Every structure is written in structure tokens, then in C-alpha cells.
């Protein structure tokens, strides 16, 4: 049983226990008591524990007792979860499970109870069953349905579990870029909900991604992270898997390390009591024995794995192991046994139709022929190997995965402007180093130089992780769709010509041709409609990118230019006037903080989870506190509670917040006010923001060169809002903004 599957069982058990304490009222009659509910969920928990250890018959007994008791006590929720548990056990027991009835029963109960969790769980569980049966397209649809029903709106460990399974499924298909994308999403969720077990599973799976890409150091690093987490929570099964992977990753560089890690893995595998956990150990020992030229022992170990894979009906594992056994037989000059194993591996690869399997099969077949001295066939098989290898792992795939990781790391650090901070820190350290040299403190100067070197290297490493845009990918998708449409049209034309040749009467020919032309026209129009929608979406995306680029240029470009100039001035004065250099560095620090705040605002406004006005209010309060409290200005912040659940589109959110910031900033900098009042309320069908101060005010009729008020009016116009600025000298200022959320 896979590690992520065991994590799923433990998660189900936890959720069922929670239901013993949280009851959702229902309208149907019920006769069960709290004691009945506790008993039912205890039985289901026992079933989970038995399933994890492989005792499926006992797990089914507990499940059916829970199902029977739920029916007797008319506890629908218990019956629904028991149906899902029964389906899960059937999947593990059978090669061709039939669980549709169980899933539909659970869906009916979930619909009656309006239980979105149970409904999502049923779709997820059915999708997982189809995934193990290699029906990946249908499985993916069910996974996304489960997310839409509950798991995406209510982010828990289940959300991470579905993301992890999507990554696992794409990895099985050899689509490593999609695998990495979903696994990184899973890691983010597990970190958010502090689910260490799920985080360890997703992290361990990321190691497999890098192993498949040939990046050993990254694979080892991720595996060690997973081991540390699994040791912390005592995950014996997971530790067996991770140490086996660690042995595999060390094999090319140190056989001694590989053997040591494999011995640890075997020790943990034996503790689990699960036969399937012994397979990775046998596989690794087979390879290690082969590396030591002990061919017979190597074949014996892989044959043990083959026996277990046959018992478990693990076709994927069996395809890999029979291929390896064939190579060992070739080394021992046993061509009859070798061909038998290769035939089995070929048949399994045909059944599964997996690119990774075909790549490995042809690579092994080339080695097999080379060992036998048949270089012509070896060359032919090698060409097939490289064909599949190039289609699986190319430069674009590796770059895109690196980009995904960069995005993950950037989001994790709240998109801090590390490069600017590092440059500022380097200049500060250089100044401190010069002071230490002047003071004769060589140790301090050396320490400062080491810090400078570290920061320079860190900045260089970050510069290597270049972000790529998605426009090229979208263009390629559109071109691919266009080619597919042309192929479809060509096929339909061919079908039309065939139908004309076979027609026996003019009337029948006319009817067939008319029908086919109509279908073709509908298909073309439908495809054109889809293409048009795609182009509209692309234009919308380009507009968003243009707006972000404009904000980056307007808000940050000038500040960066200023920082660059100040840096050069500071550098020129560094050896002559330390006091002036320090003042310039303080100015650089202030401008860097402004850039960081501007970048934080841009990132915050484009995140979809900030659509609610409630999140906007939190951001507004943070800015007001940071801007006004430091100047000892009293704040009155009043918000109507009934508008907090309103949503604001991303474009409106950005313009609204920038108008608000400019109003508060003007009050802080120029008004000389002692109190600022902010009110956010409903105005008809829209919202109204009012920012008032008791400061010195100004004459609104005078024409000024201030870009602040001009920027506010431009933002208000983009927002489609009505902006009023009322002020008189010595009578304060009031700014009122009214708009309707999109």
C-alpha cells in the first residue's frame, strides 16, 4: 500500500472521530443516541487501523458491523461513511473492483444531509479507484469535482491529499512538470494546515520528481526533509520508503552508504508487518549485489520482489522488475530466461501504455543486445530509448519545474524583495568593514567580508532562477488546438468522400452529404467559439500583466533609479565622508522599504483569496496603523459589518486600495492633523469610503503640481467611481469615494 494511501486512511479516521463531537442537525427522524454514534465511529476507526496493517478481511468485518448498526439506529451519516469505507476496502481486495453502487449510496446520503464533505469524499474516493485502474482522465475529473464541492473552499489536509494524488497520477504518466506543480500545491496546503504527515508524503514525492529528472542532490535533499518529519511523528511505514529511496539515490556515488541506508529501510519495513514494504529493499539489494558482481544473489533478490508483485497484482512494479531480471539473465548467459522476462515486461508495458515504462524497456533491451554482442539490434533499441527519453525530459520541462519551485519559494517568503535587501545589506556591511579596518579590528573586518561573500553568492543563486512567462505556453496550446481542429476537419472530409463513394442513390447521397456538412459546420463554429473564448481569456490575462507591469514601472522604476544614483554617490563618498555616506544609506533603506511595500501591495491585490472586503479591511487597518500611529495621530476606523462579505474584483481592489493609501498618506505627511476618521459603508447598491482629517486643509481651487491628487483621480476613473475632495484652509480635508463592486 502506498504511503499517501495510508495517510488517506489515517485522515478518514480522524475526521470520523471529529463527527462524534460535532453533529449537524438534519430534518429526518432519527433514533440513535450519542453512545450509538460513538460506537459506530469506533468501529470505522478500527476498520481503518486494520486496513493500514493489511488485514483487509478484519477491516471489512468492522465496517459491515458499523453499517448494520447505522441502519438499525437510522444514523444516515454513519451509513454514508461506512459505505465509503466498504468501497475503499473492496478496491484494495479486488483487481477489478465494482464500487459504483457504494459510491452512489454515499452520494445520495450526502445529498440528503447536505454534507459537502461526504459528497466530496465520495467523488475523491471513486477517482482514486479509477486512478489505480489507469483510467487517468476520468480520475482527474473526479478529483477536480471533489475540490470544487468542498476541499478547495475548506482547506484542510484533504485538500493537500487530493493535490498529492493529482501529482502522483501525473508522475505515473511521466508528466513530470504537472507532477511537480500539484506536489508543490500539496506542500503549500500541508504547511498551511500544519499537517506534518501529509507534508512528509508530498515532500518525499518531490524527491522522486528530481530523481526522474536526474538531479540527485535535490532528490537527496527532499528525501532527508521527509525523513526528519517522519521521525518526528513516528511514521514507520514512511521511514521505510524514504530510507529505501535514500539508498537508491546514493547508489551511484557510494555503495557503502547505499547498503547502510537500505539496512535501515529494511529494519523499518519489517516493523510495519506489511509485505509490500519489503519490495523496495529486495530491489535495492538486487542492484547492490549486481554492482558487486554477485549476479546470482542479485537475481534471487529481484525474483523475491517479482513474487510479491504478482501477489499484489502490481503491474507497474512487475514491468520494471521483469525487465531488470532479464538483464541479469543476460549477464549470466541465460538467454531463454532473459527473453521470457522481456516478453512479460513488454506485454505489461503495452497494457499500461506508459512513456516511462517504454523508455526504460527500450534502454534495457539495448543493453541486453549489447551484452549478447548484437550491436545492430542494440542500436535500434537505443534510438527508441532516446525518442522516449527526449519526449519525457527536455530542457523546457526542467526549466518549468525550476520555475514552479521558484514561485513556491517566493510565495512562501511573501515575495520579499530579497535582491534589493541584499544589495543594501552588502553596502552596509562594506561600510562596517571599512570602519573595522580603520579601527584595526581584523577579525571583525574578516567576519564582515565573509557575510558580504555569502550575500553576494545568495544573490547570484537567486539570479539563476529566472522566471518564465506563460504567454509562449498559451500560444503553443492554441497552435496545438488549431492543428487538432485541422486534423478533425481532414478526417471529416475523408469520411464525407468515403460516404459519397458508397452511396447508392442520389437522394441518400444528398442526405448524407448534407448531414455531414451540417455536423462539420457545427464543429467548426464550436471550435471557433472555443478559440475565440481562449483568445479573450488570453487578452484578459495580458491586460492584467500590462497593469502589473505599469504599476511596477510607475511605482518602482523611479525609486530604483534613485537608489542606483544614491548608491553611486555613497560609493564615491565612502572613503571620504562616512557621515554623508551613512545618511545616503539611510535614504536608500527608506526607499527600499517603500519598494517592498509597493511590491507587497501588488502581490496582495492579485491573490484570489483576497477578494472579500473583510480581507481588504484587515489590510487597510494594517496600513493605517503603520502610517498614522507612528506619528501619534488618533485613528477612528468605522466599518459596516454587513458589507464585510462583499467581494471586489482584482482590478477594482488594486485601484481602490491605492486611492485609500494616497488619502491616508496625504493626511499623515501634509495635513498636520491630530485625528483621522475613516469610514467604509454601503451607499445604495455600492460602497462608500470616507477619509477625513482635522488638519490644516488646503484650497482645492488652486492648481498644484502634486501628482498624488492627480493619481487619485486617475485611479478613481479606472475604478468607475465618483471621487470628491472637499477642503478649506484650517478646516481639514474630506475625501469621499463611491463605487459599485464588479
Mean pLDDT check: name the lowest of 111-115, 273-277, 738-742.
273-277
Cα separation of the two ends of the chain: 49
The whole-angstrom separation of Cα 473 and Cα 491 is 27
Find residue 151's DSSP bridge partners. Answer: none
Question: Could you tell me how many helices (H) and strands (E) the chain has, helices first?
Answer: 29, 5
Inside any domain, residue 437:
yes
Same domain, 638 and 564: no
Mean pLDDT check: name the lowest of 62-66, 138-142, 527-531.
527-531
How many independent structural domains does the chain possess?
A: 5
The length of the chain in residues reads 742
The region, left, alpha or beta by phi > 0 then psi within -120 to 50, assigned to residue 697 is: left
- CATH number of the domain bearing residue 98: 1.25.40.10
Q: In the predicted model, is pLDDT for residue 182 greater than 70?
A: yes
pLDDT digits (tens, 9 = 90+) for 72-110: 888 888 888 888 888 888 877 666 678 888 888 888 998
Same domain, 88 and 12: yes
Contacts of 279 (CB under 8 A, 6+ apart): 305, 308, 309, 317
Grouping H, G, I as helix, E, B as strand and the rest as coil, residue 635 is strand
Grouping H, G, I as helix, E, B as strand and the rest as coil, residue 320 is helix
Which whole number is the average pLDDT over 310-330?
86
Inside any domain, residue 292:
no
What is the model's pLDDT at position 26? 43
Contacts of 623 (CB under 8 A, 6+ apart): 660, 661, 664
pLDDT digits (tens, 9 = 90+) for 350-375: 888 777 788 888 888 888 888 888 88
Inside any domain, residue 240:
no
The whole-angstrom separation of Cα 247 and Cα 283 is 11
pTM, two decimal places: 0.44
Q: Which three cell numbers stand for residue 121?
A: 469524499
What proportion of the chain, given as a percentage, has pLDDT over 90? 11
Same domain, 450 and 478: no
Which whole number is the average pLDDT over 311-319?
85
What is the model's pLDDT at position 496? 58
Name the CA radius of gyration of the chain, rounded: 33
Inside any domain, residue 628:
yes
Mean of the per-residue pLDDT values of the chain? 77
User: Between β-strands 733-739 and 722-727, what pairing exists: parallel, antiparallel or unpaired?
Assistant: antiparallel
Q: In the predicted model, is pLDDT for residue 476 greater than 60?
A: no
Write down the residue that cell numbers 485502474 correspond to.
133
Q: Which three cell numbers stand for residue 289?
A: 549485489
Grouping H, G, I as helix, E, B as strand and the rest as coil, residue 637 is strand
The whole-angstrom separation of Cα 30 and Cα 112 is 14
Q: Which of 113-127, 447-461, 491-505, 587-601 has the highest mean pLDDT?
A: 113-127
Closest CA to 568 of 584, 556, 582: 584
Inside any domain, residue 652:
yes
Backbone φ, ψ for residue 583 (5° rounding):
-65, -40
Q: In the predicted model, is pLDDT for residue 629 greater than 80?
A: yes
- Helix H or strand E encompassing 65: helix 56-72
Same domain, 511 and 549: yes
Mean pLDDT check: name the lowest of 134-143, 187-196, 546-555, 732-741.
546-555
Sign of the four-CA dihedral 534, 537, 543, 545: negative
How would you list the strands of the sheet with 733-739, edge to edge?
634-639, 675-683, 686-693, 733-739, 722-727
pLDDT digits (tens, 9 = 90+) for 148-171: 999 989 998 889 999 999 998 988
The whole-angstrom separation of Cα 134 and Cα 124 is 15
Contacts of 76 (CB under 8 A, 6+ apart): 26, 28, 30, 70, 109, 112, 113
Angle at 424 between CA 420 and CA 428, to 5 degrees: 165
- Specify whether the CB–CB gap between 210 and 183 falls below 8 A: no
The whole-angstrom separation of Cα 684 and Cα 738 is 10
Angle at 601 between CA 617 and CA 639, to 5 degrees: 10
Q: How does DSSP classify residue 215?
A: -
DSSP output for 447-471 = HHHHHHHHHHHHHHHHHHS----SH
- CATH number of the domain bearing residue 682: 3.30.565.10
Same domain, 663 and 574: no
Domain boundary, last residue among 554, 571, 604 = 604
Q: In the structure, what pLDDT confidence band is assigned to residue 439 with cuts at 50, 70 and 90?
A: confident
Same domain, 497 and 627: no
Inside any domain, residue 214:
no
Grouping H, G, I as helix, E, B as strand and the rest as coil, residue 737 is strand
Cα 64 versus chain centre, distance: 37
* Better-scored residue on pLDDT, 253 or 462: 253
Inside any domain, residue 596:
yes
Same domain, 556 and 703: no
Grouping H, G, I as helix, E, B as strand and the rest as coil, residue 725 is strand
Same domain, 374 and 503: no
Same domain, 447 and 551: no
What is the model's pLDDT at position 556? 61
Inside any domain, residue 637:
yes
Domain boundary, last residue among 154, 179, 203 = 154
Same domain, 417 and 342: no
- Specify whether the CB–CB gap between 211 and 222 falls below 8 A: no
Q: Which three cell numbers stand for residue 465?
A: 532562477
Containing structural domain, residue 702 = 607-739
Closest CA to 186 of 133, 226, 219, 224: 226
Q: How does DSSP classify residue 631?
A: G
**Which long-range contacts does 226-231 make (Cβ < 8 Å, 24+ apart)?**
226/200, 226/201, 229/196, 229/197, 229/199, 229/200, 229/203, 230/197, 230/200
Same domain, 13 and 107: yes
Same domain, 457 and 518: no
The whole-angstrom separation of Cα 297 and Cα 294 is 6
Amino acid at each position: 500500500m502506498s504511503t499517501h494511501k495510508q495517510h488517506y486512511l489515517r485522515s478518514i479516521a480522524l475526521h470520523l472521530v471529529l463527527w462524534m463531537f460535532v453533529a449537524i442537525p438534519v430534518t429526518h427522524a432519527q433514533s440513535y443516541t450519542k453512545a450509538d454514534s460513538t460506537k459506530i465511529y469506533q468501529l470505522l476507526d478500527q476498520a481503518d487501523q486494520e486496513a493500514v496493517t493489511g488485514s483487509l478481511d478484519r477491516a471489512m468485518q468492522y465496517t459491515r458491523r458499523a453499517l448494520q448498526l447505522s441502519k438499525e439506529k437510522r444514523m444516515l451519516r454513519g451509513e454514508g461513511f461506512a459505505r465509503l469505507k466498504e468501497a475503499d476496502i473492496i478496491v484494495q481486495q479486488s483487481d477489478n473492483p465494482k464500487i459504483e453502487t457504494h459510491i452512489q449510496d454515499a452520494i445520495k446520503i450526502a445529498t440528503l444531509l447536505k454534507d459537502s464533505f461526504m459528497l466530496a469524499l465520495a467523488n475523491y474516493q471513486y477517482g482514486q479507484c479509477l486512478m489505480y485502474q489507469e483510467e487517468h482522465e476520468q480520475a482527474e475529473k473526479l478529483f477536480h469535482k471533489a475540490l470544487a464541492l468542498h476541499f478547495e473552499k475548506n482547506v484542510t489536509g484533504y485538500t493537500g491529499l487530493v493535490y498529492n494524488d493529482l501529482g502522483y497520477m501525473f508522475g505515473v504518466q511521466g508528466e513530470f512538470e504537472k507532477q511537480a506543480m500539484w506536489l508543490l500545491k500539496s506542500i503549500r496546503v500541508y504547511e498551511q494546515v500544519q499537517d506534518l504527515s501529509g507534508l512528509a508524503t508530498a515532500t518525499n514525492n518531490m524527491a522522486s520528481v528530481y530523481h526522474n529528472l536526474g538531479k540527485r542532490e535535490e532528490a537527496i535533499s527532499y528525501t532527508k526533509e521527509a525523513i526528519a518529519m517522519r521521525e518526528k511523528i513516528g511514521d514507520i511505514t514512511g521511514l521505510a520508503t524514504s530510507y529505501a529511496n535514500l539508498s537508491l539515490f546514493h547508489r551511484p556515488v557510494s555503495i557503502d552508504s547505499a547498503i547502510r541506508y537500505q539496512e535501515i529501510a529494511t529494519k523499518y519495513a519489517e516493523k510495519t508487518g506489511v509485505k509490500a514494504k519489503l519490495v523496495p529493499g529486495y530491489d535495492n539489494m538486487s542492484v547492490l549485489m549486481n554492482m558487486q558482481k554477485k549476479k546470482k544473489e542479485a537475481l534471487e533478490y529481484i525474483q523475491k520482489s517479482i513474487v510479491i508483485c504478482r501477489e499484489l497484482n502490481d503491474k507497474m512494479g512487475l514491468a520494471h522488475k521483469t525487465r531488470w531480471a532479464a538483464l541479469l539473465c543476460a549477464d549470466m548467459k541465460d538467454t531463454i530466461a532473459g527473453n521470457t522476462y522481456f516478453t512479460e515486461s513488454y506485454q505489461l508495458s503495452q497494457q499500461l501504455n506508459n512513456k516511462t515504462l517504454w523508455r526504460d524497456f527500450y534502454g534495457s533491451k539495448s543493453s541486453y543486445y549489447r551484452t549478447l554482442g548484437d550491436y545492430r539490434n542494440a542500436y535500434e533499441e537505443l534510438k527508441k530509448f532516446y525518442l522516449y527519453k527526449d519526449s519525457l525530459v527536455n530542457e523546457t520541462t526542467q526549466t518549468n519545474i525550476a520555475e514552479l519551485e521558484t514561485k513556491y519559494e517566493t510565495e512562501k517568503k511573501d515575495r520579499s524583495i530579497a535582491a534589493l535587501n541584499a544589495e543594501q545589506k552588502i553596502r552596509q556591511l562594506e561600510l562596517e568593514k571599512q570602519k573595522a579596518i580603520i579601527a584595526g579590528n581584523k577579525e571583525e573586518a574578516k567576519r564582515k567580508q565573509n557575510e558580504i561573500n555569502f550575500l553576494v553568492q545568495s544573490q547570484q543563486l537567486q539570479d539563476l532562477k529566472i522566471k518564465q512567462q506563460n504567454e509562449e505556453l498559451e500560444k503553443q496550446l492554441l497552435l496545438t488546438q488549431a492543428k487538432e481542429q485541422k486534423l478533425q476537419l481532414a478526417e471529416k472530409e475523408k469520411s464525407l468522400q468515403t460516404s459519397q463513394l458508397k452511396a447508392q442513390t442520389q437522394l441518400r447521397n444528398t442526405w448524407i452529404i448534407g448531414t455531414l456538412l451540417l455536423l462539420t459546420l457545427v464543429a467548426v463554429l464550436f471550435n471557433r467559439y472555443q478559440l475565440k473564448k481562449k483568445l479573450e481569456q488570453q487578452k484578459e490575462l495580458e491586460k492584467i500583466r500590462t497593469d502589473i507591469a505599469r504599476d511596477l514601472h510607475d511605482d518602482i522604476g523611479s525609486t530604483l533609479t534613485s537608489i542606483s544614483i544614491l548608491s553611486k554617490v555613497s560609493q564615491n563618498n565612502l572613503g571620504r565622508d562616512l557621515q554623508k555616506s551613512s545618511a545616503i544609506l539611510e535614504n536608500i533603506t527608506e526607499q527600499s522599504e517603500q519598494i517592498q511595500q509597493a511590491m507587497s501591495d501588488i502581490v496582495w491585490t492579485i491573490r484570489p483569496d483576497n477578494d472579500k472586503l473583510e480581507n481588504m479591511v484587515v489590510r487597510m487597518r494594517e496600513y493605517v496603523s503603520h502610517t498614522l500611529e507612528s506619528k501619534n495621530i488618533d485613528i477612528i476606523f468605522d466599518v459596516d459589518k454587513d458589507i464585510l462579505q462583499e467581494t471586489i474584483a482584482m482590478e477594482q481592489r488594486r485601484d481602490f486600495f491605492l486611492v485609500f493609501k494616497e488619502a491616508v498618506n496625504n493626511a499623515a505627511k501634509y495635513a498636520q492633523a491630530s485625528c483621522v476618521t475613516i469610514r467604509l459603508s454601503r451607499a445604495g447598491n455600492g460602497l462608500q469610503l470616507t477619509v477625513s482629517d482635522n488638519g490644516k486643509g488646503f484650497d482645492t481651487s488652486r492648481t498644484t503640481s502634486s501628482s498624488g491628487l492627480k493619481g487619485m483621480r486617475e485611479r478613481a476613473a479606472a475604478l468607475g467611481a465618483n471621487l470628491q475632495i472637499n477642503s478649506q484652509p484650517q478646516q481639514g480635508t474630506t475625501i469621499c469615494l463611491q463605487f459599485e463592486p464588479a
